[in-house]
Structure 1
Amino acid sequence: MQRIGVIGVGEIGRALVEGLCEGGGEAPEVFLSPRGARTAAELAGRYASVRVCADNQAVVDSSQIVLIAVRRDQRHEALSGLRVGGDRIVVNVMAGVRNETLRATLDGDFPVVRAIPLPTVRERRSVTVTCPSHPVVDDLFEQLGGALPVPDEAAFDVFSALTGTLTAHYSYLATLTAWAGRQGVPPSEAERYVRSLFQGVGRSLGDEARALQQLAADHETPGGNNERIRTTWFDAANADALGKALDGLLADLG
C-alpha cells in the first residue's frame, strides 16, 4: 500500500486526497499535516485510510511520497527545519517555487518533482504536468487522470502560464451572463443556459481525434453567428493582447 503525505490541506490538497481515496480499489494511506485543521479533520473522518499527524515532520516520517501544497508565502514557516530522508520523494505543487528553491528550504538529499495538479484530480480527470519525469510520481498522477512529464522547468513554466488563464475563462462566462441580463433575461436563466452551452463545449474537447482549430471550424458556419463574434471580437488584435499577457506572465515565472 502506498503511503502519501500532504503538507498543506487547502483546495488542491483536498482534491488530491479525494481523488486518491475514491478511485476504486485499495486506497493509499494518506497522512495530513495539521495545517488546515478543519479540512484535514473532515477528510480523516470521511476516509478510513486518512489520518492527521501531529506536525509536518510526522507527515514526512510516515510517507513514501510527500506532496508540498502550502502557499508560496507560507513555505518557510511550514517547511523550515524539516528533515527528509533520501528514500522519500517530494512533490512540489507550490506555484512559482522552483525545485532547487524548495530543496534549499528542506534538509536532506532526495528527489524533487514539480507538478501542476488541478482541482479536477478529485474526479481523476486532470492531466498533471510534472518535471522532471519520475516513474513513481508519474504513476501517481496517471491514477488521477494522466501525467504529462516535461524535460525542464522552462517548459514547465509555459504550462504554468497556460494554467493562469483558468479564471479568465470563468470571468468570460460571467460576462456573457451579465450581458444577457442587461437584455432583460432573468439572471438565473441566463446562467443556466451559459453553463449548459459551455459544458457541451467541454465534452467536445474529449474528441482528441480533432485538433482545436478543427473543432472551432466544425462549430462554425461561414457567415454565421459564431464566425461573426470570432472575427469581430476575438480578432488578431485581441489574440495578440492575450499572447502578450502570457508573455509577461511567463517572464515573471522564469
Structure 2
Amino acid sequence: MERIGIIGVGEIGRAIVEGLCDGVEEPPEVFLSPRGAGAAAELSRRHRNVRVCVDNQDVANRSDVVVIAVRPQDRSEALAALRIGGDTVVISLMAGVGIGELRRTLGAVGPLVRAIPVPAVRERGSVTVTHPSHPVADALFDRLGGVLPVADEAAFNVFSALTATVSTHYRFLATLTAWASRQGVPAEDADRYVRGLFQGVGRALDDGASSLEQLAKEHETPKGNNERIRTTWFDRSNSDALTRALDGLLADLK
C-alpha cells in the first residue's frame, strides 16, 4: 500500500486527503503532521487509513511520498532539522519557493517536485500543475483530477500567478450580489441567482473545442447588455491593471 505523508494540514492538505480517500475502495495510507491539529484529528476519525504523527520527522520516516503544504513564511520552522531519505519523493506546494532553495533547506538528495493543487482536488475535479515531471507525483495528482507537467520553473511560476486570481473571482461574484441587494432584491435571492448563473457559465468551459475568446463572443450580442458591461467596465485600463498586477506577482514569484 502507498504511504503518503502531508506536512501542513490546512485547506489544501485537507482537500488532498479527502480527494485520495472519500469514496475510494482502496485508499493509500496517509500520515499527517500535528500541524493543523483539529483538521488532522477530524480526518483520522473519518478515515481508518489516516493517522496523525507525533511530529514532522515521524511523517517523513513513515512515508514514501511527502507533501509539504505549509505556508512559505512558515517553512523555516516547519522544516527545521527535517531529514528525508533519498528514496522519498518530496512534493512542495509552497508558492515562490524554488527547487534549488527547497533542496538547500532540506539538504535533500532525492526527487523534489513542485505542484499547484487547488481545493477542488477534494472532488477530483481540477488539473494540478507540476514541475519537474515525475511519475510518482504525476500519478498522485492524476487521481485527483488530472495533471499538467510543465517544462521549467518559469512556466510553473506563470501558472502559480494565474492561481492567485481565484479569490478575486469570488469577490467579483460577491460584488454582484451586493449590488443587487442595494437595488432592493433580497440578498438570498441575489446569492442564489448569481451562483446558478455562474455555475452554468462554468459548465461551458468543459467544451474544449471553443476558445475562451469564442465563449465570450457566444455569450454576447452586438450592442447587447453583455457587450455593454464588457466594454464599459472591463475596458483597456481595467485589463491593463490586471496585467500589471499579474506581472508584479510573477516578478515576486521568481
- TMscore range, shorter length: over 0.9
Report the AA paired with residue 150 of structure 2. V
Give the corresponding residue for 1:25: 25
Report the AA paired with residue 229 of structure 1. I
RMSD: 1.0
Separation (CA, whole Å) in 2 of partners of 1:153 and 1:118: 18
Separation (CA, whole Å) in 2 of partners of 1:196 and 1:3: 40
When normalised by structure 1's length, the TM-score is 0.97
Give the corresponding residue for 1:114: 114
The correspondence of residues 72-111 of structure 1 with structure 2, limited to 5 A, is 72-111=72-111
Q: Does 1:243 align with 2:217?
A: no
Give the corresponding residue for 2:71: 71
Give the corresponding residue for 1:5: 5
Separation (CA, whole Å) in 2 of partners of 1:107 and 1:164: 29
User: What is the DSSP-based 3-state SS (H/G/I as helix, E as strand, rest coil) of the residue aligned with 1:222?
Assistant: coil
Report the AA paired with residue 70 of structure 1. V
Report the AA paired with residue 44 of structure 1. S
Unaligned stretches of 5+ in structure 2?
none
When normalised by structure 2's length, the TM-score is 0.97
Separation (CA, whole Å) in 2 of partners of 1:124 and 1:75: 27
Report the AA paired with residue 99 of structure 2. N
Deviations 1:132-166 (A, max 9, x none): 11111011100000111111111111001101111
Separation (CA, whole Å) in 2 of partners of 1:78 and 1:234: 42
User: What is the DSSP-based 3-state SS (H/G/I as helix, E as strand, rest coil) of the residue aligned with 1:5?
Assistant: strand
Report the CA distance between 1:24 and its aligned residue: 2.5
Separation (CA, whole Å) in 2 of partners of 1:73 and 1:218: 43
Q: Percent identity among equivalent residues?
A: 68
Give the corresponding residue for 1:51: 51
Give the corresponding residue for 2:220: 220
User: What is the DSSP-based 3-state SS (H/G/I as helix, E as strand, rest coil) of the residue aligned with 1:173?
Assistant: helix
Give the corresponding residue for 2:126: 126
Report the AA paired with residue 141 of structure 1. F
Which structure 1 residue ranges, 4+ long, deviate > 6 Å from structure 2? none
User: What is the DSSP-based 3-state SS (H/G/I as helix, E as strand, rest coil) of the residue aligned with 1:205?
Assistant: helix
Q: Does 1:181 align with 2:181?
A: yes
**Does structure 1 retain, via aligned residues, the 8 Å contact 2:118–2:126?**
yes
Deviations 1:147-192 (A, max 9, x none): 1111111111100110111111111111111111111111111111
Separation (CA, whole Å) in 2 of partners of 1:22 and 1:101: 34
Report the CA distance between 1:104 and its aligned residue: 1.3
**Does structure 1 retain, via aligned residues, the 8 Å contact 2:96–2:252?**
no
